Amino acid sequence: MISYYCIVSLPGVQVGDIVVLKGADDDAARAEMTRVSTQWPGYETIALYAGERCVAVLSNPILGFPIDPLLIPAEAA
């Protein structure tokens, strides 16, 4: 099992909250990230990481951001 975590950014708050997730792979962790988004209705963005690697970023559509998560290619430096 890989350890994943999310950084939840809220509008007007300088420091994000960190949520630790369990996931067998990136897809399972993305599903958990979506579940976390329902627990933080006023979030601005939720960034999903596996260690230092950014896996995906979810932006709140209520604030005018895209509905689909932004996927970060594994090759990104």
The tens place of each residue's pLDDT in the chain, 77 residues long, gives 678 999 999 988 888 899 999 888 999 999 999 998 899 888 999 999 998 899 998 888 788 776 665 666 666 55
| Contact partners, residue 24, CB within 8 Å, separation at least 6 | 1, 2
Provide the whole-model pTM: 0.78
The domains of the chain are located at 2-71
Question: Do 33 and 49 contact (CB within 8 A), yes or no?
Answer: no
Pull the structure tokens for residue 24. Answer: 């067998």
